[in-house]
Every structure is written in C-alpha cells, then in structure tokens.
Amino acid sequence: MEGYIDCHCHLSAQEFDEDLDEVITRAKEAGIGAIVAVAEFPWEAPKILSLSQKHKDFIFPCLGVHPVQAEPPDSQRSVTLEDLGQVEPVIGDNVEKLVGIGEVGLDFTPFNVKGASDKDVQRQVFARQIDLAKKFDLPVNVHSRSAGRPVIQLLKEQGASKVLLHAFDGKVSVALQGVQSGYFFSVPPCIVRSEQVGCPETEAGEGDPAGESDVRDRLTCTGTCQTGEK
C-alpha cells in the first residue's frame, strides 16, 4: 500500500450516502492509499463492514461506540451500556476484519453529560472497549473532549498500549503523559486554525465544533499521514 492513510474518517456518515463512490474516487486521485472508517453509533457497524467489503484494501473498519450518541432529530445524549451491548457481539464476530476499536473515549462537554452518573457510565463503556482492544490485540482510536486528563488516566489504568488519540484537546502536559506511554496523536483539519499541534486525519463526515469547515470536503485535506506499507 502506498500513499497517505486517513486514520480517522466517518465514511458511514449519512452526508456521504448520495455520492460515496465519487468521494472515494476523489480521495484516491488525491493520493489517499487507505481510509480507516471509524464508527460512532451501533447502526454504523454493519454499514462500515459492508463498505470495507466493497472497497477491499482501501476502506478498513474500526468499530466501537462513541461516548456521545445522537438520537434523531439531532438530539445528543451520553452513551449507555446498552449501546455498547449492541456493538460488542458485532466486534467479536468480525474481529479478523478490524484494524481497531473506535471511535471510543470520553466526552465531558457539559452539553453532553447530565451529571456524575453519565461520566461514570462513559468511563465503564470506554474501559470495556479498551479491554476488548487488549483481548483482540487491536489499537483503540480515541475521542476526548473536555476530558483529556481522565482519558489518559483511564488508558494508563487499563493498561492500553496501542493507542491513537484523535483531536486531543487537553493540556500539553497531559498529552506528554500519553507520549511517554507510547500513544500516538492524530491531528484533525482544525489544526489550520490552531497553534496546538502527530498523525493527521480528516475526520470527514463529522461535524466541526467551530462550524467553519464542510464536514464532507476533507478527504483531500493536505494533512494526512504518509506511510509506506501497511
């Protein structure tokens, strides 16, 4: 495999439903050699597996449940153990196809957590997915928002070793604890507006917290991770 690898992309997002084949063609033309398709919600798992089947050796599946779940119409809530319960068997049944467990993590944005119990359940769901990753010797693709320190702490407590932190927004001192533990950090497109600075990603298909960039138009972003062979 040659070219850039987009290590964190939401290709199963509904925004891509209309013209996904064209999006993939443009990504290949732009020099993307592979895309890691991450999941947020339980319904995405079969969709991502089928995309990876259709685009073998280009789309690689990474399954898990995100700490924030969306319920139509556009309302958000903190993840539950029931959400994880829907995805765990799919992971177990398809583990030989997966390149990682994700997108998993903690999101303590006040809007998304109603109290201590939501945070506690997020920790339980994250810890169980770290255990799954360890059991199957897979990396975790980790989301952290307003939870940099607790994310690094939980990863260390759980003995996670293969870790990619995406769009990490914690303090530099906390990030350095992750670096010391051998964790990787991928850099999202918003780097162009930030002085914070690893392994770039497009996060295509995911909403931009600042609302300043198109969620679809990132597959040709110049900031993706170049590699030789998988």
CB of 210 to Zn ion, least distance (A): 15
Burial (0-12, 13-18, 19+ Cβ within 10 Å), 20? middle
Token pair, residue 68, equals: 């924030």
Residue whose CB is less far from Zn ion, 40 or 88: 40
The site for Zn ion, by CB under 5 A, has a size of: 2
Minimum CB separation of residue 26 from Zn ion in Å reads 20
State yes or no: 8 annotated in a binding site: yes
Tell whether residue 143 is among the known ligand binding residues.
yes
Q: Please, which residue, 131 or 208, has the CB nearer to Zn ion? A: 208
Is 66 annotated as a binding-site member? Answer: no
**For residue 38, what is the enclosing H or E element?**
strand 32-38
Residue 150 vs residues 68, 101, 103: alpha-carbon distances, Å = 16, 19, 16
Q: Residue 31 is which amino acid? A: G
Q: Are 99 and 59 in contact (CB under 8 A)?
A: no
Q: Which of 206, 218, 219, 221 binds Zn ion (CB under 5 A)?
A: 206
Classify the C-alpha dihedral 70-163-200-191 as positive or negative.
Answer: positive
* Sole window of 77-85, 174-182, 198-206, 222-230 interacting with Zn ion (rule: CB under 5 A): 198-206
Q: Indicate the residue whose CB is closest to Zn ion.
A: 206
Q: Which residues pair with 97 in a beta bridge?
A: none
| Binding-site positions for a divalent metal cation | 8, 10, 103, 143, 166
Where do contacts with Zn ion occur on this chain (CB under 5 A)? Answer: 103, 206
